[in-house]
Amino acid sequence: MKNSSAGFRLPVAKEGLPFIAIGFGVTFLLWVFGLNPPAYAAGAATLFVVFFFRDPERIPPEGPGIILSPADGKVLEVKRIEGRDNPIGQPAVKVSIFMTVFNVHVNRSPVTGVVERVEYHPGKFFSANLDKASSENERNILALRTDDALKVAVIQIAGLIARRIVCRVAEGDRVKAGRRFGMIRFGSRLEVLLPEGSSVLVERGEVTRAGMTVIGRLPSENGDRT
């Protein structure tokens, strides 16, 4: 008989547990010492931290060649970029997604494949919705190779408040579309680089959900490959 508790997991990201524990501890101590107004403020702040680190279960859609959104947020831009100095080394389509502090911040893989490279770059902390954040902010690049040997990249970009990028995978790891691979704390930006010839199914201003929204299809679905 299957154990119903075997798959149980807390609905918050593990990176948030220390912050939540500290928040509850401070709230309790303030309440014990009769400092009610500060206790209420600390309690409210702790509840917001729980809200921020929430990590709901999601069932990703399936289908050949689909590319899923790696983040909850709003599409800032969709544009073609050249192959020079971009993580996949060839012309690509970039989809940029901005996350506010109110979005779920757990990041999910857009495709199934193998991690070819993980590359961390220290940088500045401009607001993540600005264009210069893409090239100047602290960021982490995840270069993926799909089972059809197509190259896709995901770039985690820290924002004005977000100063901690978490990446749970390493070079050589296999990732599955829609599965968690990391997060960024407190407001940030994610960019996906799709191989040229991919169909992009989102536009600027659209809202996406990590591991749920299909943002595009790989070139093989169009009978076209780069």
List pLDDT tens digits, range 82-138: 877 788 888 999 999 999 888 998 999 999 999 999 999 988 877 777 777 788 888
**Domain membership of residue 23 as a residue range:** 14-52
Per-residue confidence at 14, pLDDT binned at 50, 70, 90?
confident
In this structure, the answer to whether residues 96 and 31 fall within a common structural domain is no
In this structure, the answer to whether residues 94 and 166 fall within a common structural domain is yes
Strand spans (E) along the chain: 66-68, 73-81, 92-99, 106-108, 113-121, 139-146, 151-158, 165-167, 174-175, 180-184, 188-195, 199-200, 207-208, 214-217
The DSSP code for 148 is T
Q: Quick check: is 188 catalytic? A: yes
Output the domain CATH number for residue 70.
2.70.70
**36-52 vs 17-32: helix axis angle to the nearest 10?**
170
In this structure, the answer to whether residues 92 and 196 fall within a common structural domain is yes
State how many domains the chain has: 2
Question: In the predicted model, is pLDDT for residue 223 greater than 50?
Answer: no
In this structure, the answer to whether residues 22 and 86 fall within a common structural domain is no
In this structure, the answer to whether residues 87 and 168 fall within a common structural domain is yes
60, part of any domain: no
- Dihedral sign for Cα 106, 108, 114, 118, please: negative
Q: Which of 96, 109, 134, 188 is catalytic?
A: 188
Give the pTM. 0.85
